[in-house]
Structure 1
Amino acid sequence: MGVRSGRTARRSRPAGDGGTRVTGTRVTGLRAPVVDGPWIVRGKDLRLTVFARSDRGLLRWTQRAAAGDEWAGPDVFEAPRLSHLAVVQGADGFVRFIGRRVSAEGHVTGVVHAAQYQTGRPVTEWKPVGNPHKDAASARRIGVPAAAVSGSGSVHVFVANAGGGVSMRSEDAKGAWGPWRDLQGSDAYEGAVAVAAASGRVEYLAPGDGVAMRWQQEKSDGGLERCPDLRISVNPGSASGLETAPDRFTYYWADAATGGLFAHRPGAWVVPLGGGPAEGRIAALRAWLDGYDCTVLAHRTPDGEVMLAACGTENEGGGVWWSRTAERSTRPPALACDAEGRVVMALFGEDGALRIARQVPEPGLAMAPSVPV
């Protein structure tokens, strides 16, 4: 699958209507340093939204029209003091924000959450999810949260606990939170990944000491059961999961020692992907290219270059073609398909501006140069 990218930047039309208050504040020309993100999601109305987190709060850019070139934003929504943020979307289109809250001294206090229920609408107030530990010393040691949304709309929040295992808490579709559950495990690292299948079934993959621990539901909203460990070494924060067949996930990650990229489906062999080293999470997306079901991958190298690749879905062993996009980003890139099925990549340029690159109508995966928003 050929992959090509241009780089002669074309400036988009001005976005946003500076100064308008939504619930967040719309800011024109914002260059607040981004510390988490970007995340890009497609709403029920088929418009794309990009989220990121800065020291000023949660940032949001919203596509003005489905498949359009113009964007509104950034809107800035106040957020509690967070060390990390996860952004997940359920089949209902709702976007959930799960953050690890810290005190003014930088001590972890617990997990909080908020939501956006419709594209372009206000973000709800932040509410506590809590902490699996009661004593302050243990509570400070919980890991970065990961989350997934089941088919019924139940939000599952996972954290590494102070004992090195994994704790989970779930919110049902009516907003009631159950108790924290200890899923066991040991030596869980930061940077786990939670995923949900189209069926609503949830899986969770936690990097550990020379292994990756995995839990899965047999059915949507069922109990999470421990699976055999995967003998892989995952660079914390690099892993992502993608449903590549009904109820089957492929995991992508960078090796902890070399930074090289790999793919694995439980029950199959580990496949080297080339294209490394990678820094930060690997973006993975299914898209139709030239009439074929394909997987698109993107990552950021340690020196800030964005790499892009495509292969037949579940055919990584047949070859993965990587392209140096000539794009540079301060954060790992994010991928989505727009209302017309085109691949869209979001990244932050070295000047701090959000940039959007789009697939162009040529054979293979050809991307136009990114443009600032």
Structure 2
Amino acid sequence: MAIVVAAPAEAIALIASEPDGSVIEVICLDGGSGAEYRALEAAMAAASRRGCRFSGEPFVLDAGAGNITGQILDVLHETGPVRLRTLDPDPAHDSFDTERKLPIVNEPAARGKAARSALRAARRYQLEAGVPVFVECRRAGAGTGLPPEAATRYPLTTGWLVSGKDGRLSAYLPTAAGVVRWTEGRTEAEGWSGPELLDGPELMPGLRVLRGPDGYAYLLGLSRTKRKESGADIEVVCAAQYQSGRPLGPWVALGNPHAPNWQVARSVGFPSAAFAADGSMHVFVRNFGHGVSVRTQSPKGRLSRWDALRGQKVADEMTAFPASDGGVQLVARARDAEGAVHWHRRDAESAWQEDARVPVSLRAGSLSAAPESGLVRFRYSATNEVCVWWPGAQTPIGLGGPDGDGPVAGVSGADIQGWGCTVLVRGGHGGVPAIGAHPDGRPDTGVWWSESGERSIVPPAAAFDSRGRVVIVTVGMDGKLRVARQQLGSDGLEFTPWSVL
């Protein structure tokens, strides 16, 4: 794993949040002051005591020599990382100049430059080496005690395993060079193909994957296009997978609520989306003012205007989900509190309504839509326990599993000895997947969790295969896909041994 920062002090939080046993390379644009470099050495020594390994001293680049991207690329070829972590390529603004209509950013310019150079170098390295590189951009200023899930600029991908119209499964994940895909073969004997890099624009390191009512998989991301004058245009883009294993459909621009002011637009959050029962797709983003903006795409592709939802300020974490009445709802983590905000509307012609009195205190980086319509899952901020909540419920229901970090995936309607059950999978202790289940519609009966497999560098995902078996996928520390499949007819919930693709 490579950490790329502008100055030594900026690597400290990234090192502290790495799991025990990680192999780490540190790359700095300059060596900083003596005190700063000594603080980095102390952080590396502390990480070594908990099992992390460093091949040697940090790589200190010659920023004055120019071609920072090329220098980083040389180090990546030398070290061969599977993961790369850096800071926010578009640092957050502190205030706004109303006369010039420009955001005011007080972070050192070198931070964003280092991150953008790291992303370009990682993209080139992946294209040249032919192996996926998984990237995470941490928000500058995030506390050292926060895990990566809680401090990442682009939310971790959930729901990244989906079935196509033919029942074959496909896994999609964001990498430095774009989206990579693994596709299940037409028969079990045929196995899986991938990872295959899909054609597309330059994307930021995040991805939303959802299955539409038409059975197609839809991918959403943020594209970055360099402007001729200066800066870059950031906009929401979407592509559809019509046939399993075939080329991805064209990426279609869904815009940015702050276009054409690119200095403001670059601060937009990562999109979340859900389909209503009528086939319309609702796309939500955190906007410049830390509110929520939404636009709708009709089943025929017609886009509504961006609509700003007034109300409480939100963080870069939200999940849209289908409601039981056929509409779409949204839950977002509050920006300045551990609570959440819920938006809903009565019908397509009504205005969006905000409910800021949601009885949810969630841990950052843990929010996700549940497989059952109208439910969300998260980790309780005080105990880290997995919880489930639905709009209107007075309190969430605890599901146990206080170890580990990140969101929870799952499926409902799984066959376990003839009973319909909801199967859940989450990151457990040390990132090892933990699997549990409860009867459909009865989360109050509790969940018995058991760990399986090895550490995953992404949140685990789950889906049904063509035979109705639950399939769970992870990505190991070597960047390779791991797959486990439910064994129907066995005593309880049992899975095949993990296979490595």
Tell me, yes or no, if the aligned pair for 2:232 and 2:262 is still in contact at 8 Å: no
Instruction: Specify the alignment match of 1:52 in structure 2.
Output: 173
Paired AA for residue 454 in structure 2: E
CA gap 1:65/1:172 in 2 versus in 1, 3 angstroms: same
Instruction: Specify the alignment match of 2:301 in structure 1.
Output: 175
Paired AA for residue 435 in structure 2: L
Among 203, 207, 226, the alignment partner of 2:354 is 226
Tell me, yes or no, if the aligned pair for 1:254 and 1:277 is still in contact at 8 Å: no
2:341 and 2:442 map into 1 onto residues whose CA distance is 24
Structure having greater relative contact order (Cα 8 Å, sep ≥ 6): 1
Pick the structure with more helix per residue.
Answer: 2
Q: CA deviation at 1:78?
A: 2.7
Among 312, 322, 326, the alignment partner of 1:186 is 312
CA gap 1:42/1:354 in 2 versus in 1, 3 angstroms: same
Paired AA for residue 420 in structure 2: D
2:176 and 2:406 map into 1 onto residues whose CA distance is 19
Aligned partner of residue 137 in structure 1, secondary structure: helix
Pick the structure with more strand per residue.
Answer: 1
Among 217, 221, 238, the alignment partner of 1:99 is 221
Structure 2 residues without counterparts, runs of 5 or longer = 1-126, 136-155
Aligned partner of residue 264 in structure 2, secondary structure: helix
Alignment of 1:300-319 (within 5 A): 300-301=427-428, 303-319=430-446
Q: Return the TM-score normalized by structure 2.
A: 0.63
Asked whether 1:121 is paired with 2:246, we answer yes
Aligned partner of residue 370 in structure 2, secondary structure: strand
Instruction: Specify the alignment match of 2:114 in structure 1.
Output: none
Percent identity reads 34
Aligned residues: 343
Q: Which has the larger radius of gyration?
A: 2
2:311 and 2:429 map into 1 onto residues whose CA distance is 31
- What value does the CA root-mean-square deviation take over the aligned residues? 2.6
Instruction: Specify the alignment match of 1:141 in structure 2.
Output: 267
Instruction: Specify the alignment match of 1:235 in structure 2.
Output: 363
Worse-matched range after superposition: 352-361 or 59-68: 59-68
Worse-matched range after superposition: 157-166 or 231-240: 231-240
2:195 and 2:324 map into 1 onto residues whose CA distance is 31
2:496 and 2:484 map into 1 onto residues whose CA distance is 6
Instruction: Specify the alignment match of 2:207 in structure 1.
Output: 85
1:222 and 1:355 map into 2 onto residues whose CA distance is 45
1:221 and 1:341 map into 2 onto residues whose CA distance is 38
2:231 and 2:176 map into 1 onto residues whose CA distance is 14
1:330 and 1:192 map into 2 onto residues whose CA distance is 21
Deviations 1:101-134 (CA, angstroms, capped at 9, x unpaired): 3456997722122211222221122232111114
CA gap 1:198/1:123 in 2 versus in 1, 3 angstroms: farther
Aligned partner of residue 407 in structure 2, secondary structure: strand
Tell me, yes or no, if the aligned pair for 2:203 and 2:221 is still in contact at 8 Å: no
1:69 and 1:200 map into 2 onto residues whose CA distance is 38
2:190 and 2:318 map into 1 onto residues whose CA distance is 34
Deviations 1:187-226 (CA, angstroms, capped at 9, x unpaired): 2112211112576421111111232111234357865433
1:216 and 1:156 map into 2 onto residues whose CA distance is 12
Instruction: Specify the alignment match of 1:325 in structure 2.
Output: 452
CA gap 1:265/1:117 in 2 versus in 1, 3 angstroms: same
Instruction: Specify the alignment match of 1:33 in structure 2.
Output: 133
Alignment of 1:250-329 (within 5 A): 250-268=375-393, 269-286=395-412, 287-301=414-428, 303-329=430-456
2:190 and 2:437 map into 1 onto residues whose CA distance is 24
Q: Return the TM-score normalized by structure 1.
A: 0.84
